[in-house]
Structure formats: C-alpha cells, structure tokens
A and B are shown apart, each in its own frame.
Chain A
Amino acid sequence: MWAMIVKEFRQLRRDHRTLAMMIFLPIVLLVVFGYAASFDVPKIPVNVYGRGAEELAAALRPPFEVREVDPDGWASEAETALRDGEVPVAFLATFEGPHVLIDGSELFTAKATQGALAELAQSVPGAPSTYPRMPSVEILFNEGLETSAIMVPGLAAMILLFVGTVITSLGVVRERQAGTLEQLAVMPLRPWDVFLGKVAPYFLVASVDMVVVVLAGVLLFDVPFRGQVAVLALGAVLFLFVTLGLGVLISSVSQNQGQAIQLALMALLPQVMLSGLIFPLSSMAAGVRWIGYVLPLTYFVRISRGVMLRGAPLGALWPSFAYLAVIGAVVFGLATLRFHRSLAPARTRGEREAVSAR
C-alpha cells in the first residue's frame, strides 16, 4: 500500500493541472458561494413616471434606487424601459396612488420588489397624503413569476456553452491523442478548412440543441417567445463563436481528454455561477459581480431572456451583442492561431527550411 501511496503522490506532483485544480477549485467555490450565491436583492433600480413623479421618487426608500424621474412619461415609456432591460421596476404616479410595473423576467428582483412594496405600503400611510393606498402592482413578461420561464432561456444558453466548450475541446484533443492531428497537418488541407470542418459539426449540433430546448420550453412549459427569432439566432451565433473558440483554445493547450475536461470545467463553472443564470448579478458582492460582467454567458443570458420573455429588440440589447462580438473575435481569433500552429508546424516555424513544391 505504501508503494501505491508514494506512486500516486509522485504522479500527482507531476500533474500540475490537477494539482492547480485541487488548490484553486476550493478557493473558487468559496468565493462563489461566499460572495455570489445569494438570492437576496439589496438594491432595486427604478424609474418613476407621471405628474407626481418627483414627489413619489422622493418618498421611495431603499431597496428602491431611483435611476430616472420623468414627469412627462407614462405607461408606454415605463414598459419600454422594462422591456429594454434599463430597470426591472417602474413606478407610475397616478391620482389613485402609485402603480408599479415589475419585470417578471427578473424573478428574484420581482419577488424582492413585492416584499419591499408591502413594507412601503405600511410606512406610506403616515407620510404624505398623496399615497394613502397600497400601490397597485402589474407584473409584465412573466406574470406568474414562473421559474421555468427564466430557466429555459438560461438553459438554452448553458447548452450552447456546454456543447461549444466541453464537447468541442474533447473532439479536437481526441485527434491529438490518436495521433491523427499530425496526420491532418501533413494532408493537403488548409488549416482554416480543418478548423472549420472540425468546428462546424459542433456548431450545428449546438444549434439543433438550442432549437429543441427553446421549442420544448415554449410548447411544454408555456415559456413565452415575444421577441424576434432572428435576434435570438444572431445572439446564439455570436455566443457560439465564443464558446467554440474557447473549446478549441482549451484543446490546443491540453494533451489528453482528462486535461481538456478539467480546463473546460474551470471555464464552465464560473460562467454558470456568476453570469446571472442562477444567482442575480445584483445580489453579488461588487468584486465578484465584475467577474460576472467579463463572462460571455452573462451577455447571452441577457439576450435570451430579453428576446424570449420581454420581446426586447436588437436596439435595446446591442451592448450585449457588441460585447459578444468583440470577445468572440478575440477568442475565436486566438483559437484559430493556436490551431493553425499545431496543424502546420513546418510551415509556421520553418523559416530556414527550403521546401520544394512544384
């Protein structure tokens, strides 16, 4: 037994990635669950509309944080602000009292708003006479505050991430392990052709998966699809570029499938935890929240929920599209370069080589 223990430690000492994972994974999990894993929403950004907007805004207390006060705006402006994801809650100052519009696609914020409104109603009667009654509440986009409604668009995003990153990284590293990657390098195939040929099937599989998940969500779980299919498709394509690029990058620095799985999980876990897919970003500690803002999944979750649940147009979601396009270009570009290098070593490093080709 002692011989086995010594052997295992020797092997472990040389397996730097597993060692790093054993050290960093607990730290990552600690940070995630300590600072990010919370459903509490401490701050709720709101816009206030209507003639008495300024007075109403002044009466609002935390957790509500007033972002914009527009005495000339009314219900349509409020709905647009919610649809475009500017704020999750809008107050309308009416003669009968405040009317509150809540974005149901922000499930935990919506629930926190309901709780805060109940408290507000208790405190308001003693205050200005303008608001003697309980605010009337209207939930938009996910009227029943169904969990499935926010999970299905998120799940679609996660599937693209899983297929794009994990499965792709395995597919490429399998070539390396079988020794066929080197064979591809000497075949008369352009590296770009090999790269696209390698990635295209995963692109198609992920796309089919996504369509199936969205259809199942709409048909089986009554998840609404209010936006344009083309907008979601465009977001999915951009996000797939990021995830496929990430998969190829991971495979290019992995020698075997075990290493690829480890790295892919390291790339997957923070995205699932910190993207707002499960825990609301607004609930996270500021430092951890900024990690979330860097992760591509954060933006595709915004796009998928925005398009499906709120019917948000491209114009409202453009920052997320722009970020995915930029990060996609960077990651995919890096992946292409790495793949090109591993495929054509003789052609990229052989400056002193004189290859005759008739």
Chain B
Amino acid sequence: MTFGVRGLTVRFGPQVALEDVTLEVPPGRVTAVVGGDGAGKTTLLRVLAGALAPTAGEVRRPGPERIGHLPASSGTYPDLTVRENLAFVAAAYGVPATAARERADELLSRTGLAGALDRLAGELSGGMRRKLGVVCAMLHRPELLVLDEPTTGIDPVSRADLWWLIARAAAEGAAVVLSTSYLDEAERAAWVLALDAGRTLAEGTAEDIVAAVPGAVCRAAERPSGDLARYAWRRGATWRVWLPEGVAPPAGPALELLRPDLADAVTVAALARELAHAGGDRR
C-alpha cells in the first residue's frame, strides 16, 4: 500500500507551515524531503508519523504499530541506558523479547553502538544518540519509516552505515521517508521532494529534477556583476551562476558551463520561483 499526503495544508495560527503539498511514499522506496530551514520538512514528517494533525488534506498511513518515527529530537530517553531505551520501544511495539534482542544486536552492531549498551543515552555523543534514535525507529520493522534528519551531526562513516540500514529497510519492503539538509545525500534517495516556504518546489527522481533545470548553470571564480548577480550563489570556494533560458552569457569573468547536481537544481528552482513572483508583483 502506498502511503503519503494529498493536498496537505498545515497552519499554526496565522502561519502557514505547509500549503497544498502532495507526496506519495510507496513501499520499497526511499523518499527524501529536502529544503532549507523553515521549509516545512519536519511538519510534513510529523503529519506522516501521526504526531501532528493536518489543517486540510488527506493523509494515508498505516496504524501506529506499523510506523517507525525518528523525531527532530532524538526521541530517546536521556536518563535510560541504550539497552533500556530499546527494551521500552520493543515493549511498546509488542516485539517479543528474543526477537527484539536479535534485531537490536543486528542494528547496534551495524551502527557501532554495540559497545554502548549500558551507557545512558544522555551520555552518548549527539551522533551516537541520533543513531540510537534510528535504531529505535527501525526495531519493530515498520511498514512506514519516518526519519527526520537521521544523519544530521553524524560522521561520514556512520552516515554510510545509517544509509545502509535505511536502504535495507526499503529493500525489505518498508516505505521510507526522510528529511535531510544534505542534498548530496538526497541524491541517494529514489524520490526527492524539495520544499520551499511550505510549498512544493520540485519533485521527482534526483535526475528528473536536475534534468528539469531551465537554462544553464555555470561556475565562476568571482561573483558576476550587474543583473546576473541576482542569479549567482556561492558554492564552496567558487560561484554558481544560473543563466535562464534566453539569457546570453555575459562578457567579463569567464563562466564555465557545468552539469548541475541536485543542489544546483534546487537552488535554481528556488531562484526561478522568486523571479516569477517578482515578475508577478511587477505586473
């Protein structure tokens, strides 16, 4: 069964957190929700997990016993040990003790937490606690796995381990939806939803989103001057410049045409929307 939201709107008082967002989360697929701070990623995931009621729209999700959720906080008890946290989650989801132990052993060894079983969760590093949160969310083999920024604050090696677990959960049939601020990471997902200020900015496979970039993306050593400055953003030590369709490359600093990646594509989509709004305002 495909889970997801259709026409989802969430308001907190006068503030619109999500507006008319639709997302399908089918089994066996990893779906990534990306966007900047305040884009609405956490709100969307909270609605999907059942922690927040929508203002309008439809939500399709399994019963709570078949959902695994890692909230924006770690979702674990700091004053319980790793073992005790896992025991509580197993009991809450009705996982038999032996099965829970075997599953926990497998997940903990993969995440490097096996040696920390008797440490208080509050004494773990931020990254280790995050990993424990992911393990807790996956312990009962949920049909819908909702992970809010699972890899934030985690070192690259552990990120790879977590992605292995996430991919395996999907391979075993779980519908996985996760949010991330790392766009390079989102490229690993089979489906990407980019949000901006609570609205859908782009959606599809990472390749689709990249292919849909209108115009061209170039690299420049310096920030271009004039009108083109509006289409430029810093990326690492250099600048990216978007040349919308019909805009000719200017004279001046050399622009090196490049194949955009997902990060470029999402930035271009945001710029394009901004320009469209500005154009609409002028009209």
Q: Which chain B residue shows the least CB distance to A350?
A: B53
Give how many A-B residue pairs fall within 8 Å (CB-CB): 82
- Tell yes or no: A188 within 8 A of B by CB: yes
Residues of chain B lying within 8 A (CB to CB) of residue A182: 46, 51, 71, 73, 75
- Tell yes or no: B63 within 8 A of A by CB: yes
- Tell yes or no: B77 within 8 A of A by CB: yes
CA distance A131 to B238 in the complex (A): 110
- Tell yes or no: A16 within 8 A of B by CB: no
Measured CB to CB, the residues of A under 8 A from B are: 178-180, 182-183, 185-189, 345-350, 352-358
B49 adjacent to A352 (CB under 8 Å): no
Minimum distance in angstroms from A346 CB to a CB of chain B: 5
Minimum distance in angstroms from A198 CB to a CB of chain B: 13
Query: Of A180, A189, A352, which is within 8 A of B56 by CB?
Result: A352
- Tell yes or no: B60 within 8 A of A by CB: yes
Measured CB to CB, the residues of B under 8 A from A are: 1, 3, 46-47, 49-65, 67, 69, 71-78, 89, 92-94
6 shortest interchain CB distances as A-B pairs: A179-B73, A188-B65, A350-B53, A349-B53, A357-B63, A188-B64
Residues of chain B lying within 8 A (CB to CB) of residue A356: 1, 3, 60-62
B77 adjacent to A180 (CB under 8 Å): yes
Given A178-B73, A180-B75, A356-B1, the answer on whether A185 and B63 have CB atoms closer than 8 Å is: no
Given A345-B51, A354-B60, the answer on whether A187 and B92 have CB atoms closer than 8 Å is: yes
Q: Which chain B residue shows the least CB distance to A351?
A: B53
CA distance A327 to B101 in the complex (A): 46
Minimum distance in angstroms from A323 CB to a CB of chain B: 37
A179, A182, A349 — most chain B CB neighbours (10 Å): A182
Query: Of A178, A345, A354, which is within 8 A of B52 by CB?
Result: A345
CA distance A183 to B57 in the complex (A): 23
For chain B, what secondary structure do more than half of its interface residues adopt (helix, strand, loop), or is it mixed?
A: loop
CA distance A180 to B73 in the complex (A): 8
Residues of chain B lying within 8 A (CB to CB) of residue A347: 50, 53
A186 adjacent to B53 (CB under 8 Å): no
Residues of chain A lying within 8 A (CB to CB) of residue B56: 352
Given A186-B50, A354-B60, A356-B61, the answer on whether A178 and B77 have CB atoms closer than 8 Å is: yes
CA distance A292 to B53 in the complex (A): 42
CA distance A356 to B143 in the complex (A): 13
Residues of chain B lying within 8 A (CB to CB) of residue A349: 53
Residues of chain A lying within 8 A (CB to CB) of residue B72: 179
Residues of chain A lying within 8 A (CB to CB) of residue B1: 356, 358
A348 adjacent to B77 (CB under 8 Å): no
Minimum distance in angstroms from B179 CB to a CB of chain A: 15
Residues of chain A lying within 8 A (CB to CB) of residue B53: 345-350, 353
A179 adjacent to B93 (CB under 8 Å): no
CA distance A354 to B56 in the complex (A): 10
29 contacting pairs across A/B (C-beta < 8 A): A179-B71, A179-B73, A179-B74, A179-B75, A180-B77, A182-B46, A182-B51, A182-B75, A183-B71, A186-B50, A186-B67, A187-B92, A188-B64, A188-B65, A188-B92, A188-B93, A346-B52, A350-B53, A352-B56, A352-B58, A353-B54, A354-B60, A355-B50, A355-B59, A355-B61, A356-B60, A357-B63, A358-B1, A358-B63
Residues of chain A lying within 8 A (CB to CB) of residue B61: 355-356
CA distance A349 to B58 in the complex (A): 13
Residues of chain A lying within 8 A (CB to CB) of residue B69: 183, 186
Residues of chain B lying within 8 A (CB to CB) of residue A348: 53
Query: Of B3, B64, B76, which is within 8 A of A186 by CB?
Result: B64
A357 adjacent to B62 (CB under 8 Å): yes
B49 adjacent to A186 (CB under 8 Å): yes
Residues of chain B lying within 8 A (CB to CB) of residue A187: 64, 89, 92-93
CA distance A188 to B91 in the complex (A): 10
Residues of chain B lying within 8 A (CB to CB) of residue A358: 1, 62-63
Minimum distance in angstroms from A266 CB to a CB of chain B: 27
Q: Which chain B residue shows the least CB distance to A357?
A: B63
Query: Of A185, A352, A353, A355, which is within 8 A of B51 by CB?
Result: A185
B74 adjacent to A355 (CB under 8 Å): no
Residues of chain B lying within 8 A (CB to CB) of residue A189: 92
CA distance A189 to B63 in the complex (A): 11
Q: Which chain B residue shows the least CB distance to A194?
A: B92
Residues of chain B lying within 8 A (CB to CB) of residue A183: 69, 71, 75
Residues of chain A lying within 8 A (CB to CB) of residue B47: 346
Q: Which chain A residue shows the least CB distance to B69?
A: A186
CA distance A21 to B57 in the complex (A): 42
CA distance A348 to B61 in the complex (A): 16
